[in-house]
Amino acid sequence: MPKKRSRFLSEEELNLLDEQTHDYVENWTEAMQMFQKDGELRGLREATIFYHEKEVRMAIRYLNEQQLGLIKPYELTKEHIEQSIILYMKNEKQLSVSSINIRLTALKAFIKWLYDNKKIPTNPTHGITKLKNLKKEIEVFSPDQLRRFFNAIEKGTWFGIRDKALCLVLLECGLRQNEILNLQVSDINWEQNYILVRHTKTFQMRKVPITETTKKILKRWLLVCREAKTEQLFCSITNLKLSPRGLHKIIVKYGRKAKIEGVRSSPYTFRSTCASLYVKSSGDLLSLQMIMGWTDQSIGQSLREIYA
């Protein structure tokens, strides 16, 4: 007589039903589009969405380079991530630990979103941690590199006047990428010598002081672009708002022209340089924290220990 089966489903049967009832995403393009749309609905900043798209696409590109591009999102395993992405970045691409961790952070957030929204059956990034960085990597421009960088900026052209003002504000104010791209002309307080930063990472506005030199350069720029029909402080020659990619291209262009090596030419390097110069000039940490918009008070102290 056959054994009477249990009225409860086995784990194998539950898994089988689970696979049939879930609508898993079939390709990476569709997965990224859903992730981006959700980010827009949640009010994520344009820079945040751009960051995830850029870093995740690079990770998927590494799979393609190893003939693993046909792997579907729900087929991605922990081994794929460790062997074909992390170790590939480290050994084949020879990326720095910080660069690998930046890309890994974006990928983990993307994969976790797919799992949480039932677009993949498991989270293959679970248990994967950032690589340990034995060397403190804080990239800053040297005084000589800064001199060569600003000397490389075109003189007497529309672009040159804009780019000098743009990069000087980055250096002096230590603004994040999203913060400088969203500055408006009305955010400058000429009488009290500060810029009001509204679009911040912490959603808390802050006042950042500017020097007379920066005010002079900004006034030159505003004289040149006074016909622009936009409130954006920094715009394109067609009066459009600068994109994150456009900002990067500007800085990379002058970095290459100045033959700067050993440090990445980027908005973040200007921000790090601003902080390091402030610490080296014996500025107080509380003021630095307010200028940079840090919520963690230990960051300034760590910089002081590094540059002491």
pLDDT tens track for 179-204: 999 999 999 999 999 999 988 877 78
Helix (H, G, I), strand (E, B) or coil at 252: helix
d(CA 23, CA 79): 24
Structure tokens at 39: 């980010």
Q: So what's the pLDDT on residue 84? A: 92
Q: Which contiguous run of DSSP H or E holds residue 56?
A: helix 46-65
Q: So what's the pLDDT on residue 284? A: 65
Helix (H, G, I), strand (E, B) or coil at 184: strand
Other residues' Cβ atoms within 10 Å of the Cβ of residue 134: 7
Q: So what's the pLDDT on residue 267? A: 92
To the nearest 10°, the Cα dihedral for 52, 58, 61, 63?
A: -80
d(CA 218, CA 173): 13
Q: So what's the pLDDT on residue 162? A: 95
Integer angstrom CA distances of residue 64 from 67, 88, 179, 200: 5, 12, 35, 36
Q: So what's the pLDDT on residue 16? A: 61
**pTM, to two decimals:** 0.57
Contacts of 181 (CB under 8 A, 6+ apart): 47, 234, 241, 242, 243, 244, 247
pLDDT in tens, 84-114: 999 999 898 888 887 888 889 999 999 999 9
Q: So what's the pLDDT on residue 301? A: 52
d(CA 108, CA 208): 34
Structure tokens at 164: 């000098």
Q: So what's the pLDDT on residue 308? A: 47
Q: So what's the pLDDT on residue 249? A: 95
Q: So what's the pLDDT on residue 306? A: 45
Q: So what's the pLDDT on residue 46? A: 78
For the chain, list residues with pLDDT below 50: 306-308
Please give the backbone phi and psi of residue 36, each rounded to the nearest 5 degrees, phi first.
Answer: -65, -40
Q: So what's the pLDDT on residue 98? A: 79
What sections of 66-204 are H helices per DSSP? Answer: 78-79, 87, 97-116, 143-152, 158-173, 177-181
Helix (H, G, I), strand (E, B) or coil at 282: coil
Round the CA-based radius of gyration of the chain to a whole number and report it. 24
